[in-house]
Amino acid sequence: STSAAANDYHQNPQSGSPSQHQRPYPPQSFDSQNQTNTNQRVPQSPNQWSTQHGGQIPQYGGQNPQHGGQRPPYGGQNPQQGGQMSQYGGHNPQHGGHRPQYGGQRPQYGGPGNNYQNQNVQQSNQSQYYTPQQQQQPQPPRSSNQSPNQMNEVAPPPSVEEVMRLCQRRLYKDAIELLDKGAMPDRECFVLLFESCANLKSLEHSKKVHDHFLQSKFRGDPKLNNMVISMFGECSSITDAKRVFDHMVDKDMDSWHLMMCAYSDNGMGDDALHLFEEMTKHGLKPNEETFLTVFLACATVGGIEEAFLHFDSMKNEHGISPKTEHYLGVLGVLGKCGHLVEAEQYIRDLPFEPTADFWEAMRNYARLHGDIDLEDYMEELMVDVDPSKAVINKIPTPPPKSFKETNMVTSKSRILEFRNLTFYKDEAKEMAAKKGVVYVPDTRFVLHDIDQEAKEQALLYHSERLAIAYGIICTPPRKTLTIIKNLRVCGDCHNFIKIMSKIIGRVLIVRDNKRFHHFKDGKCSCGDYW
């Protein structure tokens, strides 16, 4: 039956192992049958519990002060929710405040069910801090699709195959929804789901899948945990990635690499390099791949000197003979940091004939930094080495105004004898007309009797300005904004919007209670008379 399957599914893979108190998510043994296991574990990890409850201690009379200080990592939690924390089991802290309210079970759910959530409650009851009083804390309402045990009674949970089918059809969101309906993904399915979330770059979905993962029997699987790290990295939630990483008991080299990559991808190269140091301190021997990630990290922080030092230490200290990828990695550090001259020199000084990959990489760095001439030259070199990479439909490069780098006659130019150095009269007039715009607040429109500065302040918060500011930051460039207001627009705002429409290059349509104003290119359709 369904329930039997569920129990089996949630079996703790590591139950009773000595390392349990270090586990990231102290497996709150979700199976009711395995009571002994549960009971064993609680006394095993007293610190953990007291730490989690540290924050609520003041609530109960401020005893046990030494525990209060142990709480900092998850300090963001509202102490009012302390009661919930115990119910969540160990994994709540991993999600800070974002966590959907799974564990917010009330006693009425805690009947003799064999669902893991019910077990949660039982477990919590064993905690000495658990009091009925806490149960009366207001709980956020549960949405219906978050109550799998109710669903289970109505319909059998969707099958794994269905989830996988949806993933393959790229209907990620639907697939993730099926999890809430009680689908029990297997190993492969989790792989697919993690990949999907990484593609989606949606932290919300990632967290959801991760929650289900934590409740599954695969939660100790290092491979899958590695995937979780890179998934959170993709969703640019470094905190989550690092937490998963920190709590992994059996980290392999990939875990370290993925964590470093996650840092680098999010522009935190310093932290990645720090992690590398830590890794060597742990006595782990960096391998070929490690150095690739080190170079990646150096590239995000402009650590050119460091990259070369690491390159040397790779050869000399770790006995790894550099491969093409390593050379490409160092090239990447130079190229991404904008040191293009050095990068080109580096390719030419390579101890072997550079492959097309090098020229292609260099072409991409030139394109990144906008050096068209270098880009074209590198492309020629690339195509020369590997004609299959030829680019079709390329727009020819416009000729530069002058080849003054190479023409050798620059010093002979006598143009001064012939050219007018200042402007012609008509040009000067044109220039004067084109001059820029400055906004000066017009405080006539503030009718309160306050000082000048306060008036200027008051003008800042007129609703149409706030609306425009919001519109600008959440729409693509040059999109027309329509703003509707039920009061007259004030003269200062009118001026402001006129100037704004010119600077931001958009048409702004603002309706006040009299008319529509179409602002375009620094002018308004009302002709300043309204």
Partner 1 sequence: SFATQEEAAAERRRRKRRLRMEPPVNSFNRSQQQQSQIPRPIQNPNIPKLPESVSALVGKRLDLHNHILKLIRENDLEEAALYTRHSVYSNCRPTIFTVNTVLAAQLRQAKYGALLQLHGFINQAGIAPNIITYNLIFQAYLDVRKPEIALEHYKLFIDNAPLNPSIATFRILVKGLVSNDNLEKAMEIKEDMAVKGFVVDPVVYSYLMMGCVKNSDADGVLKLYQELKEKLGGFVDDGVVYGQLMKGYFMKEMEKEAMECYEEAVGENSKVRMSAMAYNYVLEALSENGKFDEALKLFDAVKKEHNPPRHLAVNLGTFNVMVNGYCAGGKFEEAMEVFRQMGDFKCSPDTLSFNNLMNQLCDNELLAEAEKLYGEMEEKNVKPDEYTYGLLMDTCFKEGKIDEGAAYYKTMVESNLRPNLAVYNRLQDQLIKAGKLDDAKSFFDMMVSKLKMDDEAYKFIMRALSEAGRLDEMLKIVDEMLDDDTVRVSEELQEFVKEELRKGGREGDLEKLMEEKERLKAEAKAKELADAEEKKKAQSINIAALIPPKAVEEKKETAKLLWENEAGGVEEADVVEMAKGVEAGGSNGQDPPSC
Name residues contacting partner 1, limited to 148-187 (CB under 8 A): none
219-258 positions binding partner 1, by CB under 8 A: 239, 242-243
- Find the helix or strand (DSSP H, E) in which 83 lies: helix 82-88
Q: Contact with partner 1 (CB under 8 A): which of 111, 112, 321, 412?
A: 412
Minimum CB distance to partner 1 smaller for 69 or for 112: 69
Minimum CB distance to partner 1 smaller for 108 or for 316: 316
Q: Contact with partner 1 (CB under 8 A): which of 18, 408, 448, 461?
A: 408
Q: Contact with partner 1 (CB under 8 A): which of 159, 287, 407, 513?
A: 407
Is 340 among the residues that bind partner 1 (CB under 8 A)? yes
Written as six digits, the tokens of 506 are 């958009």
Among the residue ranges 115-123, 155-163, 189-197, 309-317, the one whose residues contact partner 1 (CB under 8 A): 309-317
Minimum CB distance to partner 1 smaller for 414 or for 486: 414
3-state secondary structure of 520: strand
Could you tell me which residues come within 8 angstroms of residue 301 by beta carbon, excluding any fewer than 6 positions away?
A: 269, 270, 273
3-state secondary structure of 53: helix
* Beta strand segments in 227-377, E: none
Among the residue ranges 62-70, 149-157, 171-179, 394-402, the one whose residues contact partner 1 (CB under 8 A): 394-402
Alpha carbons 311 and 309: distance in angstroms, whole number: 5
Could you tell me which residues come within 8 angstroms of residue 442 by beta carbon, excluding any fewer than 6 positions away?
A: 459, 491, 492, 495
Q: Contact with partner 1 (CB under 8 A): which of 32, 87, 255, 264?
A: 264
Give Cα 529 to chain centroid, integer Å. 49
Q: Contact with partner 1 (CB under 8 A): which of 4, 5, 155, 372?
A: 372
Q: Contact with partner 1 (CB under 8 A): which of 153, 188, 250, 380?
A: 380
Minimum distance of partner 1 from residue 466's CB (angstroms): 15
Strands 481-484 and 516-520: unpaired
Among the residue ranges 31-39, 186-194, 284-292, 301-309, the one whose residues contact partner 1 (CB under 8 A): 301-309
Q: Could you give the residue ranges of the DSSP H alpha helices within 89-215?
A: 116-126, 132-135, 148-154, 160-168, 172-180, 187-200, 203-214
Minimum distance of partner 1 from residue 148's CB (angstroms): 28
* Residue 481 bridge partners (DSSP): 508
Q: Contact with partner 1 (CB under 8 A): which of 341, 450, 466, 487?
A: 341
70-99 positions binding partner 1, by CB under 8 A: 72-76, 96-97
Q: 100-133 burial string, b = 16+ CB within 10 Å, else e?
A: bbbbbbeeebbeebebbbbbbbebbeebebbeee
456-515 positions binding partner 1, by CB under 8 A: 472-479, 495, 503-506
Q: Contact with partner 1 (CB under 8 A): which of 29, 255, 266, 290?
A: 266
